[in-house]
Structure formats: C-alpha cells, structure tokens
Structure 1
Amino acid sequence: MIGHINHHKNQITALAGLLIVIGFVLGTLGNENLQNIALIIATIISSVPIFIKAIQAIRMKAFSIDLLVSIAVLGALYIGEYTESSVVTFLFLFGDYLEMRTLEKTRSSLRELVDMAPQEAVVLREDGNSEKVAIEKVEVGDRIIIRPGGKIPVDGSIISGKASINEATITGESIPASKTVDDKVFSGTILDTGYIEIVAERVGDDTTFAKVIELVEEAQESKSKAEKFLDKFAGIYTPAVVVLAIVVYLFTQDLHLAITFLVIACPGALVIGAPVSNVAGIGNGARNGVLIKGGEIMDKFSKVDTLVFDKTGTLTKGKPEVTDIHTFNRLDEEFLLGLVAKAEMISEHHLGQTIVKAAQNRGIDLASMEQSDGEVIKGNGIKAQVNGHSIIAGNRKLLQSEEISLVKAVEQYAVGREKQGNTAIFIVIDGKIAGMISIADQIREDAYKALAQMRENGIKKIVMLTGDNKHTAKAVATALELDEFHAELLPEQKVNYVKELKNSGHTVAMAGDGINDAPAIATADIGLAMGEGGTDISMETADVVLMADKLMQFSHAYLLSKVTIRNMKQNIFIAVGVVAILLIGVLMGSVHLASGMFIHEASVLVVILNAMRLIRFNHKNMHSSKRLESVPAKA
C-alpha cells in the first residue's frame, strides 16, 4: 500500500494542484463552501505520502521534515486555514518532485556510464564461426571480434588486427587511442575505425569498466564531514524547531504564527545542499576519468598543500626504453640480455619489464631458458638462477649488500650514463660484474603545465621521491623546477618521508603507479594512483585514481575538489540565510505560511541548481587561485 502511494506521488501532486486551482476558481465565483471542500480534499490527498513518511520517521525515533509539515498541516486544518494547508502540502510534494528530477541530472555522469555498458559480444568459436551472445555468457579465454562502431565487451588483449579506440568512458580522454597486437583494451570503450580480435581476460564484474561504475556509485553514497555534521545538526535542529514553535505560541497565543514558524524553519535546503554538491562533483570527476572515492576524500583533497611524486610512471611516461647495453670482459651482449631478461620475468617493476621487452624485440627465446630460483629485492633489483648462472641485476645498494665492489672504470661509465638521464642497471653474473644496461624514460609532456597550474591553485611544495639514482633524479627535478627530490630510496624510506611531512603540519597527496608505491600512497593524507585502465591495486589503495596517464587530470581533480567544497559551503550559506530571513519575516508578520513555503522550496531548488554547475566544471576555464575565489564553481 505504502509503496503503491509513493509510486503514484507525481499523480497525487498533479491532482492536488488541479483541485487547488478549482478551489480558487470557485472562490472567485463566490462559492466559498465548494472552495473549502476542494481545498480540504486537495490537502487530504497530498498529505497522505507526507503523513506516511512522518509515521515512518516516528517509528525510527527520528524528527523529519515530513513530521514538521504534518504537524503544521494538522494545525492549519484545525484553525480552518484550508488555503494554506492545501498550498503547503502541494508545494512540499511539488518541491520533492523537482528535487528528484534535478538530482537525477546531477547523477547524469554515472547514468551515462551505465548506459555505455555493452550488452552483447561476438564470440569466435573453434570451428571458425562467430556467434552473438549476451555479455553474461562471455567467459575468460573467449576470442571476441570487434568491428567499427562496436563496443568492446570485456577487458582483454588484442591478438589480431589494429584499431583506433575511443576510451573516454574509462580515461576521460576524447582523442581515440591507436591499438595493435598485444595492446590492452577495456570494456565499455568503442572501436572507431579498424578491426580487432581480442582474447577475454576479465569479464562481467571483474572488468575495469564495471569497477569504475561500482567505485563511483560507492563514492556518491559516501558522506563528507560537512554532510555528517549536517545530519547530526538536523537531528538536533528539527526537534528544537518544534520546541521553539511551542514557545512562540505560548508567548503570542497565535496558533497560526506558531504553525508558520514551524513550516518555515524546516531545514530542507540545508539537508540537501551538501549531498547534491558531493554527487555532482564526483560525477564530474568520473566523466573526466578521475575517480574520487567519496565526499570525505573530496574535502581532504581540497586542503592538500604538498604534493609528493614517484618518478617513473608518474612524472615520467612510465614507458622506458633500453638505450645501451654495455658488457665487460668481451661478454656477448645478447647472452647477457637474455639471462637478465629471463631473471626479470619475475618482477613487475617498469625497468624489469623494459628489459624483458628489449629481449623479446631482439627475438631472444626466453621460454627455452631455465630459471630455478628468483627473488625480488624491493627498491633495489633482483637475484635469480638462470641456466645454471647466478644473476644479480640492480642498483649500487644491491651490489653493496652482496659485497660486490665497483671498479673505477665501471663507476665512471655508470655516472656518465646517469648524467645523460639514464638509469644504470648493474649486471653481475656468477659473482663478477658482467655489464650494464642503461634505461631512459621521458618526462610527461603535460607535467610542467599541470604542476604550474596546481601551484597557482594552492600547492606550496612539490617533492619527488624515487628509487632511481641521484643523477637521473636531479635531471628530472631540475627540468620540472621541483622544490625537493630524494633519490635511491626504498619503499619504506618513502613511507617515512611522507610521515615526516605529515608530522610537520603538511597535508600531503602522494602520487605513484599504485604498485611499488602502495605503502606510501596508503600513508599519505590523499593517495593518488596513475595508470591507464586503473590496476586493481591502484583502485583499492588510492583515494583518487586517474584512469589516463595524464597529469592534467591530477590538476583537474585537485581544482575540482576545491570548487566542490566551496560549492558545498555556498549551499549551506544560502540555506541558512534564507531560513534566517524567513523566520525574521514570520516574527515581524510580513511572511505568511504559503508564501514562506514557496520561498523555502525555491531555496531548495537554488542550492540544487548551484550544485549542478559542477557537472559542467572544466579546469581549463579556471587557472589561478585568485580566479577561484571569484568564480567558485565555473559552469
């Protein structure tokens, strides 16, 4: 019964409005009795859903806005104010309808994402025939065909063909990405041109697209500190209004004035102002490839004054290349590369994977090699047994821990490579220095612009922490004009440095690739992970996830957090200001029940419309903190 009434609330609102119009028409014709009957029926009809919610609130021992309106309506009926009782209930329901419609728009970003979810896939069977199946029936390992205009139904790798793919649903990047064999593709993205066949690696709820939707839904439901405070405040404020209304009646003996006071003091705009800003801000982030995990994260992110970056994969592109292979004692170059690459296959580190890729590009058969043992030394390198040889590949610290000294010629060659911006990987075979592999990475094109923009908007200190050598680190730090850099750090040393910054009063955001930097990311006030497609660990560990490898998304997220919190404060100010002005008007006799309710509902719409500006917010339209102060939420 209750569900049936709520389902038809819009029809109830329309019918009540029609009866009020009929009542006013009858009144102008001089038929006061029929007018009252129409207005009483309108009041009764529109009161039903309000009374139901009020009763539910009483059962939960809570004071709700519906309870205040119910008391006011009963009082208005008691004193014969049928016009005001009907108009108040109608405006309350109509305001509720408008709130729901506008709130749906604030969730439009999420709804657009959900609408992008693929529903079916074309699976290539073993007999060579293709079959169109529902997305739920696709299994890991299935071979899937995607033609131009088709949605990619699963996460997977391309095994045949090449294509231009629009990945805006995942990364927020509107420019299509070129993909070919061995490249990763993600569910929910669209093939613009070309033809590919992929093998399914993640299906259903395990896909990146499904996780993005889940994270955004959870984030929009989570509350900021302001929302939590307002919830507690409403729990105290609402019963206090009832008490004050009774006091007004006792002092004035004017029941109409007390009822008006009761209705006008409803904290509707105050309660909805913060959540709607939160939902709109998080929705904007999702549409631009930024996942901000909730209102509390948004609030904390807006207060960040210090940025800490990992180097590889964060300030640099994370796509390093082998620039030089130098051997000692006339050792064969490909022999050394093959042994090291086989050993590095146990590592997830960027540099290790770069060496593996270099060996594969040279056609070295790694599968035929035997690896009997292996150990990853976090932050330093690896140790392994390959084809009967003892392999050590890593930095100076690893060599020192193994008590292997560097001769002057080796050290000089290494420093020379490092000063040119390379990372030097020392290779030890069977206890002797056998060679050195140089690897170089490029600074991201948007790094300087993004960092400069964040400085303009409130960041006071930017620091780089890296496990790389000091020469390469200095080259990157100098190019980007960073305040500090610390090189040759282990993961635990990065954690300790972040703790030191926090203890000294800084609010710290740590950005890394979400794998090697997970401990430091978790330690910072705000942990931010970068990585196209979002790795599992980055999504779980970080507070903010950038779905594309672009630092400008970081800048957008930081500025978005500031404008969202400012928008939230604006809404609270509007709500409190309107209630205060109306209450003064009530006590002075210049604001009446119906007009006051109209203004009250209008204030609810104002805060919602103000929050909706966040949906269209774009950091490109705002560059400096001075402009931020004057235009808090650029539409």
Structure 2
Amino acid sequence: MAFEQWIQQKIKPITAIAAALVALGLASHWLGQTFLQQGFYIIAAIIAGVPILLRAWSALRMKIISIELLVSVAVIGAFIIGEYDEAAFVTFLFLFGDFLEQKTLAKTRQSIQTLADMAPTTALVVQPDGQTAEIDVDDVVPNQELLVKTGAQIPVDGEILTGRGDLNEASITGESRLVAKENGADVYAGTILENGTLHIKATKVGDDTTFAKIVELVEDAQDTKSHAEKLIDKFAQYYTPAVLVIALLVGLVTQNLRLAITVLVLGCPGALVIGAPVSNVAGIGNGAKHGVLVKGGAVMTTLRNVDTFVFDKTGTLTQGKTTVTTIHQDDPTGLQYAARLENDSDHPLGRAIVAYAADHQLLNPGLKVTATQTYQGLGIAAQVDGQQVLVGNQALLKQYQVTMTPQQTATMQTMQTQGESLVLVAVNGQLTTLLGISDQIRPAVAERLQELKQLGAKQLVMLTGDNERTAQAVAAQIGIDQVHAELLPADKVKFVKQLQSEGRTVAFVGDGINDSPSLAQADIGIAMGSGTDVALETSDVVLMQSDFTELVHAYGLARKTVGNMRENIVIALATVAFLFLGLIVGVVDMASGMLVHEGSILVVILNAMRLIGYQRPVKKIKENWQIAKEN
C-alpha cells in the first residue's frame, strides 16, 4: 500500500522519465540502433506501466473493471507479441493524458481555490484593557470584540458595535461593489473593509460562518453527480467488461492477438467518463464566481428543464424594504397598538409599521401584551392593555367577524388600486386604522423576467399572501403571466403541486424563510437570500446578492452547462466510432488509437472549460426586450 501511494505521488516525474525514454527510443530508431531502441521502449513501458497496473489492481479489489485494466491487459499483450514500441507509446500517452486532464480539471476548480484564498487567517481581539492581540481566526469565540482596520478582512460573521465603513462583499455576493455599513449592521467573514474602522462582536465563527458554508456548499456541489454522470457511470459498469469480452472474442475468432489488444486500447471510454463531470465542475464554478450557488449537477440538469417560474412577491419581486405611505385612522391608539404587536416580528410589513412608529415617537414598549396568537398568513391577535387588538388582513378581520363601513371599504379599494399592501387594525371589534404600505419593486425586474422568457421560460407566476388588487398592480408593472393572491403558505404549496400535476417543471423563487414549504415542494427551490442560513439549507440554488440578474445567469448557465455535457458525450461516442471504423479499414493502430483517445479527452475538457467564461447574452436579450416593449 505504501509503495502504491509512493508511486501515485511520483506520477509527474514518472511521466517525464517515460517521455524522455520514448524520445531516446525514437532517436535510436532514426540512428539505426535497433537494440538501444528496443531497450529504451521496454524500460519506458515498464516505468509508465507500473502506476497504471497498480490502479487497475486497486480497482479490481473494489470489484471495478476500470479503464486502467483495459490498458494493462493491452500492454501485457503487447509485450507478449514483442510490440515494445506500442507498449511504450500507449503507457506514456495514457499517463500524459492523465496529467493534462488533472491540470485542466484544476483550472475548472479554480473558483473554489479563489474562494479558499479569500478566507481570513487572523483576527485582532480587543482585550479588557483596550489593547488588541492578534490571534488565529480559529481561536475566535462567539461574543468576542474584534477590531477591523481599513484594508483588512472581516475575520468572522459579526455585528458592528461601533464604527462605520464601506465593505467589499464580493466573497459573499459575487459583486465587488462597496456596501456602506454602520452600528448594528451584520458583517460577514471574508469581506474586505475598504475604508473606515470597525469594532464588531463575533456572532458566528469557524465552520459556522456564511463564508465557510459557501465554500463547503460549492465543494460539495462540484462533487455531486448530475443525471448524465450517473447514467454514464452505470453505462461504464457494463461497457468496460463488454470491451474485454469483445476483445477476447476477436482474438479467438481471428487468432490475431495484436488486433485483440488494439480493440482493448480503442475501447477505452475515457472521454465519455470525464466529459459530463468536467462540464458540471466548470458550470458550478462559474456560478460561484457570479454569486450563484448551485447545489450539484443534478440541480443543474433540473434547472435547465424548468419551464415555469413561480415567485413570491414581498422580498422577492419587491425589495422587502417596506415603508408606511398612507394612514387612515379613527383612533390614533390603533397605530401604537399595531407597532407594539409587530415589534417582535420579522415580517417586512411589520418592520415598516415599527419603523414608522419609531420615527414619529409612537412606539411604546411599555404597553402590556397578553394572550398573543399568531395566524399564519393572516396576522396577529392579542390583548394590549386590556383591549382586544387585531393586526392583519381582511381574512383575519372576517374570522373575528369585524365589519367595515362603506367608506372604509372604498378607501381600502383605492389604496389597493395604488398598489399598496394593507394592514388593518381593529380594536375591540371595530376597524380603527388602515395602513397602506408600499414596497419598491426590485430594479430592472421587468427586463430580467423578459430575459427568462427569451432563454426558454414558458410561464411566470406570482403567488402572494397580499390582496388581489395590490398583487395585480405589481404584476402589471413587471409582466407576470398569472397571479394568485391572498394565499396562505399551504395554499402556495397547493398551487406548486397543481402546476407539477400539469406536467410542468417548476422553480419557486422565494426568500428562503417564509416560503420554505414551497421551496421544498418545487422541482427547484431558488432562494433570494444573501447567504442566510435558511436560504443555504432549504434551497437548491442560492442567489447571494438577491439580484434577478443572478437568476437569469443561473438559468442561462444551467442550459449552457447541460448542452455542454451533451456535446461532450457526442464527442466521446463519435471518437470511439471513428477509432473502430479506422481499425476496420486499417488506418488506426494501437499507438495512434491511444493518441486519438487521449486527444479526445483533452477536447472534451477544453470544451467544458468554455463554461468558465460564460456570461448571460445581455446584448441580444436587451434588443429583444426593446422590440417587445415597442410592440
């Protein structure tokens, strides 16, 4: 075992020595030194053949008939019939091809190395006396105070205690623009403080940081096989033994050992085996570089087949940065009660109410809240200072049999027509306050959705818990095909199932938190998450910057990657067909066949490497979008 490991560690020098011996053999042939020529070829074949033979034996112990076994049998046969030059060329070309394959595969995995190189290694810990001490980043513990200076990396995930600065978050979002942050803001390990000085409190350290999870996710994804890879692996289980049987039959029928050995060499499925994995690795690496985390080759294949995109509204199609824009109230205490109930909520509408109340000195934490009951998708009911308070939508009020006056109904309809989301506040069974909350649509969403259609999406659907009028107003602005409003999370899941029952391949795009049931039900779950834990764990694809440009890039990349896999499979099969046809007509021998075989492996790798530079076809789609708008 130790010898086998030592040999595999010395593949590069072994390949170089074999190359030199083959060159000396060729030189001896030109000089007419037949004895030296044969000697050089024999030594070259033995030196290069040992690692191949060891790999074949290792695979056999695992009950696997590998490509190395085919080559080993062919080389032993070549020695038996005295074709030492063929044995030398075949073993050297196999090792040289393997060397080039590893070099080019390393190039496709460069995105992972780039991410790993971004990892911080040290941190400045603030001591009790105010001094700082530099320690290894692995020694940082939660809640420690750290100092980050201009130009330094944020060592761990944390919260800014004091200071202000502009951060380059390319390692997290894939976008190198600067983000201004100050007291209370979250910061992430691996991001760079371009200017300013920060004191931060460590919240997540080591493998728990967002950056560490991203690296782990992309590494795991590149090792996860696509449907095509699994199919090829299964095919290879039968194909390789079949080649051995065919070669044996050829030898028995023709009594031509050389011909049988040549069949073994030409039948090696190297390009077929490597073609799909290298496309998968390159495609996932490209996505990581552009802020798109795709969890494996199988996800890439399914994403390519998506024909229906389903979107949540708040926080997905819109920015989730909601503000109170309209207030109609009969009693000013209604807004105070609503702000008190929503103070512990993470819902975008609730945050907007709390922010408005805080800005207008209406937030009163001293109000006593009891008997709180949350209704998913409806709102909150509670006793506030002895008053029964409802904060939510129309369905919640209907459940508590709260009625509206004709004037309130007309006001509500006007607000909805303007595209505002409504929060209704009822106190002791009477509707007292109507709050209109607006959420800005994400920049360029309409153009990005058009790009999805240009790339192959057949239908765009919005599922939202918001009211029908507001949902329709938003959909009309951005070009959504189908809208379903006033839905509970369970209702969204039902709609996804219904689309799937119609034979559609569905991608659900949500925020990765409230929409986790739909993300799980869809064929592909896509989280607009900026690296949140829930987004990383519950979805198949994470858009790190929560940008629809990343969504278009992911969809186009998936289609390009799967297409590239198919190209490589065609190249591999065409090569095998060409080699056997050449053998039949007598223009291909063992050495030339191995040369073509190794060349085909390089071709499929180089073809896959084109994915590293993939960019979405912006110019063409922009032109089509302009034409669509004019028409």
Q: Please classify the TM superposition score into its range, dividing by the shorter chain length.
A: over 0.9
Amino acid of the structure 1 residue aligned with 2:614: F
Aligned match of 2:606 in 594, 605, 609? 609
The whole-number CA distance in structure 2 between the counterparts of 1:366 and 1:46 is 80
Identity %: 48
Name 1:579's counterpart in structure 2: 576
Q: What whole-Å deviation, never above 9, does each CA across 1:457-492 have from its counterpart, x for those lacking one?
A: 111111111100111111111111211111111111
More displaced 10-residue stretch of structure 1: 464-473 or 434-443: 434-443
Aligned match of 2:180 in 148, 162, 178? 178
Post-superposition shift, 1:8?
Answer: 0.7
Name 1:551's counterpart in structure 2: 548
Name 1:308's counterpart in structure 2: 310
Aligned match of 1:157 in 148, 155, 159? 159
Name 2:526's counterpart in structure 1: 528
Say if 2:270 is the partner of 1:272.
no
> Secondary structure in 1 aligned to 2:321?
coil
- Structure 1 pair 626/567, CA: closer, same or farther in 2 (3 Å)? farther
Amino acid of the structure 1 residue aligned with 2:245: V
The whole-number CA distance in structure 1 between the counterparts of 2:293 and 2:236 is 30
Name 1:414's counterpart in structure 2: 412
Contact 2:340–2:363 (Cα < 8 Å) also in 1: no
Name 1:193's counterpart in structure 2: 195
Amino acid of the structure 1 residue aligned with 2:315: G
The equivalences for 1:79-478 within 5 A come to 79-328=81-330, 331-332=331-332, 335-364=333-362, 366-478=364-476
TM-score (norm 1): 0.95
Contact 1:347–1:376 (Cα < 8 Å) also in 2: no
More displaced 10-residue stretch of structure 1: 560-569 or 28-37: 28-37
> Secondary structure in 1 aligned to 2:504?
coil
Amino acid of the structure 1 residue aligned with 2:340: K
The whole-number CA distance in structure 2 between the counterparts of 1:478 and 1:589 is 67
> Secondary structure in 2 aligned to 1:144?
strand
Name 1:537's counterpart in structure 2: 534
- The gaps in structure 1 that reach 5 residues or longer are 628-635
Q: What whole-Å deviation, never above 9, does each CA across 1:84-116 have from its counterpart, x for those lacking one?
A: 101110110111111111101110111101110
The whole-number CA distance in structure 1 between the counterparts of 2:236 and 2:55 is 16
Name 2:508's counterpart in structure 1: 510
Contact 1:162–1:195 (Cα < 8 Å) also in 2: yes
The whole-number CA distance in structure 2 between the counterparts of 1:366 and 1:172 is 41
> Secondary structure in 1 aligned to 2:142?
coil
The whole-number CA distance in structure 2 between the counterparts of 1:625 and 1:89 is 52
Contact 2:449–2:479 (Cα < 8 Å) also in 1: no
Q: After the TM superposition, which parts of structure 1 deviate over 6 Å for at least 4 consecutive aligned residues?
A: none
Contact 2:59–2:65 (Cα < 8 Å) also in 1: yes
Q: What whole-Å deviation, never above 9, does each CA across 1:139-189 have from its counterpart, x for those lacking one?
A: 211222222211111122222222221111111112222222222221111
Name 2:46's counterpart in structure 1: 44
Post-superposition shift, 1:376?
Answer: 2.1
> Secondary structure in 2 aligned to 1:301?
helix
Post-superposition shift, 1:206?
Answer: 1.1
Amino acid of the structure 2 residue aligned with 1:604: I
Name 1:632's counterpart in structure 2: none
> Secondary structure in 2 aligned to 1:2?
helix
Amino acid of the structure 2 residue aligned with 1:488: E
> Secondary structure in 2 aligned to 1:66?
helix
Post-superposition shift, 1:200?
Answer: 1.6
The whole-number CA distance in structure 2 between the counterparts of 1:292 and 1:285 is 7
> Secondary structure in 2 aligned to 1:317?
strand
Contact 2:122–2:135 (Cα < 8 Å) also in 1: yes
The whole-number CA distance in structure 2 between the counterparts of 1:489 and 1:153 is 42
TM-score (norm 2): 0.96
Post-superposition shift, 1:342?
Answer: 2.3
The whole-number CA distance in structure 2 between the counterparts of 1:153 and 1:483 is 45
Post-superposition shift, 1:429?
Answer: 2.4
The RMSD of aligned alpha carbons is: 1.7
The whole-number CA distance in structure 2 between the counterparts of 1:626 and 1:421 is 29
The whole-number CA distance in structure 2 between the counterparts of 1:388 and 1:130 is 52
Q: What whole-Å deviation, never above 9, does each CA across 1:494-515 have from its counterpart, x for those lacking one?
A: 1111111110111111111111
Name 1:484's counterpart in structure 2: 482
The whole-number CA distance in structure 2 between the counterparts of 1:456 and 1:497 is 24
Contact 2:163–2:198 (Cα < 8 Å) also in 1: yes
The whole-number CA distance in structure 2 between the counterparts of 1:218 and 1:364 is 49
Post-superposition shift, 1:418?
Answer: 1.6
> Secondary structure in 2 aligned to 1:505?
coil
Post-superposition shift, 1:626?
Answer: 13
Contact 2:275–2:568 (Cα < 8 Å) also in 1: yes
- The gaps in structure 2 that reach 5 residues or longer are 625-631
Question: How many matched pairs?
Answer: 622
Post-superposition shift, 1:585?
Answer: 0.5
